[in-house]
Amino acid sequence: MLPDLIQMPSPGPKTSRLANLLVAAVAVVLTLAALELVYRHLLFGPYAFLAPLRDPLLYADGDCSDAYWLLRVRFGAAPGPRNDPLLGHVKPDIAPGVYTHRQAAHLNGRRPVLLYGDSFAGCATGPADCFEGLCNADPRFARDHYLINYGVGSYGLDQIYLLYRESVGHYDHPIVIFSFLDGDLDRCVLSLREGQKPYFALKDGRLELKGLPIDMDSQAYFRRRPPDLTSYVLRLAAFRLFRGHLDANAPFSPTRQAKQELTRALLTEVAADLERRGLRHVFFVFEGLHRPWQRPLNWRLSFLQTWFQASGQPHIWARQALEEAVPQADYRWPEYVVSPRDHHPNRRANEIFTARLLAWLWEGRTD
């Protein structure tokens, strides 16, 4: 006779715990997904009370992440115009795609001195207070030389190299000052900042140019490039709680190592090209004017110091020029910048740097 009821085995304690954990995990995932959707709706919506959270630094690192610059535009910043098919942008003095300089018309048989760099070379002052004005107003310099300023704001080391490469051949035996800000090393790993930019990758130890063609419509470019962030909620929490551990410039960070490798390759290529052309040259390294006398040096300056020692390339440190020109007790860095909101060197600082460059030109003095 068959039993009236077939008894099924009841789940044991271990099976129950696994089921409960699975249910809890699903609930957490669904809750986080819902929270993420609501947060995104509020963050990118017309809700003024969330304005303090519309800061790209809360979600990404501008020294290593395209997402920071994409968010910057998403949060209301205007994208930078693009006017050059290779470099992204050039200043009005430079012809896009050709890279001749309008000031070359004033050479009048004098030897060109070409200054390359970013906005610290191009200056946030007027031309009279910048390197071209200060050098070309010096009677001894202006007799036989003429400085042409190829410094372009927001350039990374990669763009400075490309502009040098494309323009130096326009001049007959120029003298080259290849300058850069220590922060320009960070820009090498980015494919955009205010707008799309070229960048390099290393393949089998060789530099390979990426990021082309440049889209001349910056608005359209940013519309097509949403920030590649999986979760804004988790990013906000991580950058609030663990920012120091997420720093791309921390020792042993793969991003920091990539910056070093690209910098080494770019500077080595610049130095090799200058040597091949037989051009007199010097590297000039800028940094924030609040940092002279600060020790230890940041990783960028330490890395560059090692590269210069190994390569034997002539170089000048802006830091050292300031330390030699001004007693430490008398140095007040706000007196050497354009304004409290604009920390670019003013005329007073540029005069010190110009004097140091002229000392190299006349006496061959380097650091």
Mean pLDDT of all residues in 220-245: 84
Structure tokens at 232: 């804004």
* CB contact burial 32-70 (16+ within 10 A = b; e otherwise): eeeeeeebeeebeeeeeeeeeebebebbbbbbbbbbbbb
Predicted local confidence at residue 26, as pLDDT: 76
| Euclidean distance between CA atoms 287 and 199, whole angstroms | 22
Report yes or no on 11 lying in a domain. Answer: no
Pairwise CA distance, residues 300 & 3, whole Å: 82
Tell me what the mean pLDDT of segment 168-176 comes to: 98
In the predicted model, is pLDDT for residue 129 greater than 90?
Answer: yes
Does the pLDDT at position 6 exceed 60? no
Is 24 part of any domain? no
Q: 8 pLDDT exceeds 60?
A: no
Share of the chain above pLDDT 70, in %: 93
Q: What is the C-alpha separation between 216 and 169, in angstroms, rounded?
A: 26
* Closest residue by Cα to residue 360 from 286, 272, 302, 282: 282
**Model pLDDT, residue 147:** 98
Residues in contact with 6: Cβ distance below 8 Å, sequence separation at least 6, in sequence order: none
How would you list the strands of the sheet with 175-181, edge to edge? 145-151, 111-117, 175-181, 281-286, 315-317
- 246 in a structural domain: yes
> Average pLDDT in the 213-223 region?
94
**Residue span of the structural domain in which 270 resides:** 66-363
Query: Please, are residues 148 and 104 in contact by the beta-carbon 8 Å criterion?
Result: yes
Q: Is residue 249 part of a domain?
A: yes
3-state secondary structure of 316: strand
Q: Mean pLDDT over all residues of the chain?
A: 92
250 vs 279, more confident: 279
pLDDT value at 10 more than 70:
no
Domain containing residue 273: CATH number: 3.40.50.1110
**pLDDT at position 81, please?**
93
Rg, Å, the chain Cα set: 27
- CA-closest candidate to residue 243, choices 63, 53, 55, 59: 59
Q: What is the pLDDT of residue 246?
A: 57
Q: Could you tell me if residue 112 is inside a domain?
A: yes
Question: What is the mean predicted confidence (pLDDT) over 287-293?
Answer: 96
Q: Which residue has the higher pLDDT, 148 or 367?
A: 148
- Residue 293 CA, distance from chain mean position: 23
Total of domains in the chain: 1
What pLDDT, on a 0 to 100 scale, did the predictor assign at position 294?
Answer: 94
- Report pLDDT for 260: 96
Gap between the Cα atoms of 322 and 37, Å rounded? 52
State yes or no: pLDDT of 248 exceeds 70: no
pLDDT average, residue stretch 136-156 = 97
Residue 222 belongs to a domain: yes
Q: Specify if 40 maps to a domain.
A: no
pTM, entire model: 0.90
Band (pLDDT 50/70/90 cuts) for residue 34 is confident
| Residue 17: both structure tokens together | 């715990």
> Tokens 């979600």 sit at which residue?
59
Q: H/E element holding 177?
A: strand 175-181
Would you say residue 342 lies in a domain? yes
In the predicted model, what is the mean pLDDT of residues 33-46?
87
Are 78 and 72 in contact by the 8 Å Cβ rule? The answer is no
> To 5 degrees, how large is the angle CA 77–CA 340–CA 301?
85
- Per residue in 319-352, pLDDT (tens digit) is 999 999 999 999 999 999 999 999 999 999 999 9
Q: Which helix (H) or strand (E) holds 304?
A: helix 299-311
Is pLDDT above 70 for 9?
Answer: no
